[in-house]
Amino acid sequence: MRAYRDQYASVFNEGRNVVLMAISTDSVEEIASWLKDEDFPYVGATDAGGEVFQSYGGGLRENGTVDSRTVIVVGPDGNVASVIPSFNQVDPAAYDELAEVIDRVTPTPEDG
């Protein structure tokens, strides 16, 4: 998640027309503490049983934690624009792909 934070300006347009939400099986308190401690510029949510994660094709380990990072891009119209089931957060090319999807579904400042 630090890579998301570190690339927030370029990939997520500094949050302009983009809401980045980290969803975890951790408790609300754990997520809030983690976001604050790491100074993440985005919000968090809990999916305690992993049902939402699994509905998008993600899997859970035996201990209930997610088996890989899944990135779901929802467009301004509320529809899922892209699902990246196993996002490789250490691969710069993965961020290029994600930035392309975000740019495709978010209006630019000149579009209003």
Q: What tens digit of pLDDT does each residue of 12-65 get?
A: 777 777 777 777 888 889 988 988 888 877 788 888 888 887 887 777 888 877
Give the pLDDT confidence score for residue 29 in this predicted structure.
92
Topology of 2-106 in CATH? Glutaredoxin (3.40.30)
Give the pLDDT confidence score for residue 12 in this predicted structure.
75
- The number of beta carbons lying within 10 Å of the beta carbon of residue 94 is 18
Instruction: Give the residue-averaged pLDDT of 73-97.
Output: 84
Report whether pLDDT(100) > 70: yes
Provide the CA 103 distance to its chain's centre, in angstroms. 15
Over the range 61-92, which residues count as b (16 or more CB within 10 Å of their CB) and which as e? Answer: eeeeebeebbbbbeeeeeeeebebeebeeeee
Query: Looking at the whole model, is its pTM more than 0.85?
Result: no
